[in-house]
Structure 1
Amino acid sequence: MTRPDLSDWQPRPLPQRAPLQGRYVRLEPLDPAVHGADLWQALQGAGADLLLWDYLPYGPFTERADFDAWLAANAASADPLFFAVIDLAGQRAVGLLSFLRLAPKDGCIEIGHIAFGGVMQRSPASTEAVFLLAELAMGTLGYRRLEWKCDARNARSMRAAERLGFVYEGTFRQHRVVKGRNRDSAWFAIIDADWPGCRAAFRRWLAPDNFDARGRQIRSLEQLREDGGQA
């Protein structure tokens, strides 16, 4: 394995609290006053994903006051740095996610705390939300490593990581205690050598002509990565 040349390496900038615009969604710095009502409905209301909270260290929330307090703590945090996902078609917040474990000296950053409402499941919105953060970290800011970690029992999250181009690197046994249960953590990452192919595939997959009249994908992200992002 060729070792990267770090003779000119400089610590990378921290991501800022600023909107990120996509074709299907816009990421906005989390603001409970602006996003709270929409997020309560998306994450706890009718049509919410019932499995959403199973592997997260918090939730579900039965009281709006507790939910609002959780949002306020997230909004005040710099690490994790939270963004609300705004569906451009409906102009409402439908989920949230964050950067975390920011290590600019090492060029390492993680995407996590993902809570997507039911409307985002298996949609371009969920893929684009992750892509916008990945592009900021790996493209604009020049980080070397983008991480994804999840409970090793969370088959949905592990499948999502692999679909999005993160490479499985191993499982940390007895890594954490979450909600009184043992958590073995599965680690995934995209490194800078992977990123050009991942970026090309993301862009090609998100293009309008990759979806048919019923909104179904024509080519998968995996297929596009294999083909270098080409049609």
Structure 2
Amino acid sequence: MTAKLPAPVTLTGRHIRLEPLERRHCGDLWATVGSDPEVWRWIPVHVPAAEADMGALLDARLAEAAAGESVYFAAVDLASGRAVGVTGYHDFSAENEYLEIGGTWYARSVWRTAVNTEAKLLLLTHAFEDLGMGRVFWKTDARNERSRNAILRLGARFEGVHRRHRLRPDGTWRDSAYFSMLTDEWPAAKSRLVERLSRG
């Protein structure tokens, strides 16, 4: 059976809500994420220096979505009601039953909290169980150990490194580490993620 392509949807958990990214999220994202150099260290964009730069970054994401290339979500913290990050689906194929989860960045205040774990649980559940995907994959800067370890903790498998994969904003070339999870690996990974969230 052919999978379905992702489309804007709202996914709600106990700690966060993933809702379709809109320009109205700009103020929250500038307030919660801002120009923190650690947040942007490995993201292949120019670091926003003002709220207008954050707006331009969101405009670029929204243009991708309008072109059917991506589906972006704002991660809204349910306790505060504020957007604390962005994530999305990319590089998808219904015929070949795969999609990428990426374009992810969060305010440092929610690092090592339930936010990323629950966001990935929501995105993976939707991808495998609602859209019928057979493979979900991630890529990250090969030097980004924090991201690589976070992906592995989801239950993904390391696939290898694409050398000289993309140009960084500073003009150097990035090697990208690739990871994936297959549909038959999802039930065990889901159980681990649910257990991790239940521990707080």
Task: Name the TM-score, length of structure 2 as normaliser.
Answer: 0.93
Q: Structure 1 residue aligned with 2:154, among 164, 182, 190?
A: 164
The alpha carbon displacement at 1:16 in A equals 1.8
Q: Structure 2 residue aligned with 1:29, among 3, 6, 20?
A: 20
Is residue 192 of structure 1 aligned with residue 183 of structure 2?
yes
SS in 2 for 1:51: helix
The alpha carbon displacement at 1:195 in A equals 0.4
Is residue 83 of structure 1 aligned with residue 70 of structure 2?
no
Deviations 1:28-75 (A, max 9, x none): 000112x11100111116xx4x31212211131112222212212212
Task: Name the TM-score, length of structure 1 as normaliser.
Answer: 0.81
Compare 55-64 and 164-173 and name the one that shifted more.
Answer: 55-64
The runs of 4+ residues in structure 1 deviating greater than 6 Å are none
Is residue 66 of structure 1 aligned with residue 53 of structure 2?
yes
The size of the alignment, in residue pairs, is 196
RMSD across aligned positions (CA): 1.3
- Determine the C-alpha separation between the residues in 2 that align with 1:59 and 1:82: 19
- Determine the C-alpha separation between the residues in 1 that align with 2:165 and 2:60: 24
* Partner residue, 2:145: 155
Deviations 1:191-213 (A, max 9, x none): 11110101111122212xx23xx
Within 5 Å, give how 1:140-151 maps onto structure 2: 140-151=130-141
Higher relative contact order (CA 8 A, sep 6+): 2
Is residue 128 of structure 1 aligned with residue 126 of structure 2?
no
* Partner residue, 1:53: 40
Gaps of 5+ in 1: 1-9, 212-231
Compare 189-198 and 63-72 and name the one that shifted more.
Answer: 63-72
Name the % identity: 36
Deviations 1:75-124 (A, max 9, x none): 24232211000000111111111100011110010011111011210001
Which one has a bigger Cα radius of gyration? 1
* Partner residue, 1:214: none
